[in-house]
Amino acid sequence: MTPHSRHILIGCAVPLIAFAQDTKYGPKGQLIPAPACLTLKPAWEGEYAPCTTATHEAWLKDIQHWRFERTIRTGLSLDDSRYSAAALQWTQSSFIQPQMMVHDRYFYDPAARKYTVDRYLDDLTRRYGGIDAVLVWATYPNMGMDDRNQLDMVASLPGGLAGVRQMVADFHRRGVRVLFPMMMWDQGTREPEKDWPEELAALMKEVGADGINGDTQDGVPRVFSAAAEKIGHPLAFEPEGSPSDEALAWNVLTWGQYGGQFTFVPGVDRFRWLETRHMVNISDRWARAKTDDLQYAFFNGEGWESWENIWGIWNGITARDGEATRRVATIERAIAPFLISKHWEPFYPMHAYGVYASRWPLGNDTVWTIVNRNEYNVDTRQMSVPAEDGARCFDLYHGVELRPAVENGRAILSFALEAHGYGAVWCTHGEPSPRLTGLMRTMKFMTSAPLASFPAEWKPLPQRLVDMDPANGPSAAPEGAPEGMVRIAGGAYLFKVQGIEIEGSDDAGVDVQYPWEDMPRRFHEHRLDIKPFLIDKYPVTNAQFKKFIEAANYRPPDGLNFLRDWKNGTFPAGWANKPVTWVSQEDARAYARWAGKRLPHEWEWQLAAQGSDGRAYPWGNDWNPGAAPVPYTGRRLRGPDDVDAHPRGASPFGVMDMVGNVWQWTDEFEDEHTRAAILRGGNYYQPQGSIWYFPEAYRNDQHGKLLLMAQGYDRSGTVGFRCVMDIQ
């Protein structure tokens, strides 16, 4: 080796050594790994050596050094203005936060046409002890059906923005903070009049919201916080993904999407460690058991995203997890001042393997949050604390005072921990405070039954097909096919279809449950014997719907967005033969009743479109661009084509305009928490720039599932309908 080459190698090694000195336990994503000695090694990986006081202190010193250096490098040590701001203090004790779909039937009653916030909150209190904040989700997965952007979707909620403001006030009355999401991927619908930071800040101020969740964002840029503060309405911003360490200065909340990073030995949350006032709500939405979520949250003194209604797919919390949530949240709320301690000590030494604790000192008192990751109960000597005159320690979880055994100047504390259970200890000097005694009484009563006594089995929520409205008028069709209708002979038919939901894979509970199925699922196949029926040759047009309005003097009880593209009681010039849109499913049913018809069942619609040969499209198995409207990719709706503009799109029976012009209402399904309509045929409008907009279903073997809430919200500029009549 030449002196020159040796010089090069030495020079290259210097930054590597400097980097290695930074920390031996650098974060992996959002989690800082535990001391290596806490993980049991099998014989083939080398000798296992349990942790000692020295190894614990070395690990703790290492990650403390990393934190000290990171706060200097990122400027976190210089700017804590948002954490000290009075308007954002609530975030530091916001432990339980569900993402709530506005479509949840516990949240809004479409029959009474009113928000039912109390019913929604009472249900959560009963099942898992209540919440501290709520993320009100009004956009995805319905957004992109038409050109309404994320602001418009909120404005389309019942009562408009005035109604939303009252709904937010109802949550505040119950002590619950309210967040809304923002979607920076929403760049294909109506363009906002001002920059997004200004628009969103103004909307949140108008409705009185407390924060914004940054959907799909790895950190919400500082300009959004600045825009809210500029108009005197500070907001708590909560990115979905992991922000940079620098962004912690203005993002006071974060989701913890650890995903596959849950390990037996918990990780230390990176952001919580850097700034203990930063609240992390762990989000693991598809998991059916929540022990990992809750134990990681309790160990890190952070919160949980108690998300059950996932885009209309119900992933309910089991009774055991609900009770565990109640206990964890009750303790965390009571000890919240401890959980922002800058002297937090993760992995406080414990006696039993698989039991992990965090120490939270505050003044003269100290609290420990403890998790048992083992599959078995641990009822033994759990931990040691300094033996001090006048010191008393309490088992918070069970609500009893501990009687320590003193050995060599250490007080040995013994108490029981359930398998996959929780524990908490509070040590104080002198008489316990009212806060402590009150918590003790609450927890003693709450933990009188073990968690193991609560059912832990997960089950999908059953759905039912909503009965069709009986048609007013003749009970049977007249001889032959009435004008404008096509006769479908019916008979044996193989009904095969799949849902196009963007998320949910093929898990139980996704999509819908037909009467012949035992649970909802994405893929469906069933042989049916369909009775003969008549179906409209074309979708109902604006001219036809106007006749109905005038003859029936129809006025919907919820008029928001009703016939939104009409002016002064009529449709635009030249639109007579275009399919009517901006009509809800209830509007369509009202028209059908007036006409002596009904909306089609989905399998009737599909048979009329497909025939008996299983073809992919009404005209055949290959896409024909001339058989349907040219997709429109602009940011504002241009309106559908005339219903007879594409004769090459005829089905085997001569039924027209079934694909690519407007979606068409068919069946409705409901479960305890969600109503949804099945849409068929796709539409001409395709907003660009994101995969998250409502997807198209042009094929005969695909359907769309539109979540329903209220008529004004459900109406869309790309949804119309056609009717059927029974043949007896």
Structure tokens belonging to residue 328: 């964890």
Q: Which of 351, 354, 393 is nearest to 263 (CA)?
A: 354
- For residue 4, what pLDDT band results from cuts at 50, 70 and 90? very low
- 74-112 pLDDT, tens digit per residue, is 888 878 999 999 999 999 999 999 999 999 999 999 999
CB 674 within 8 A of CB 707: yes
Q: Which amino acid is it at 258?
A: Y
Beta carbons of 681 and 664 less than 8 angstroms apart: yes
Question: For residue 42, what pLDDT is reported?
Answer: 82
Following CA atoms 323, 327, 329, 332 in sequence, which dihedral angle do they give, to the nearest 10 degrees? -170
**Does residue 626 sit in helix, strand or coil?**
helix
Predicted confidence (pLDDT) at residue 380 exceeds the cutoff of 60 = yes
122: Cβ–Cβ under 8 A, 6 or more apart, which residues? Answer: none
- Per the listing, tokens 């504390």 go with 413
Q: Is the pLDDT of residue 18 over 50?
A: no
What local confidence, expressed as pLDDT, does residue 481 receive? 73
Calculate what percentage of the chain has a pLDDT beyond 90.
90
DSSP state of 104: -
* Residue located via tokens 């709320």: 333
Give me the percent of the chain exceeding a pLDDT of 70.
Answer: 95
The three-class DSSP label of residue 322 is: helix
Average pLDDT of the chain is: 94
SS3 571: coil
> Among 283, 127, 158, which residue's Cα sits nearest to residue 216?
283
Question: For residue 35, is pLDDT > 70?
Answer: yes
- Residues 6 or more apart whose Cβ sits within 8 Å of residue 423: 357, 368, 369, 370, 371, 372, 382, 395, 396, 397, 415, 417
| Cα 76 from Cα 573, distance rounded (Å) | 61
Q: What structural domains and CATH numbers belong to the chain?
A: 464-726 (3.90.1580.10)
**What is the band of 12 on the pLDDT scale with cuts at 50, 70, 90?**
very low
Does residue 156 contact residue 189 with C-beta atoms inside 8 Å? no
Burial of 574 (0-12, 13-18, 19+ CB in 10 A): exposed
DSSP annotation of 565: T
Q: What average pLDDT does this structure show over 528-552?
A: 98
Q: Is the pLDDT of residue 305 over 50?
A: yes
Cβ atoms 76, 285 nearer than 8 A = no
HSE (CB half, 13 Å, CA atoms) of 42?
Answer: 1
Helix (H, G, I), strand (E, B) or coil at 414: strand
Q: Where are the alpha helices (DSSP H) in 23-180?
A: 53-74, 81-84, 117-128, 150-155, 160-173
Count of CB atoms within 10 A of residue 122's CB? 14
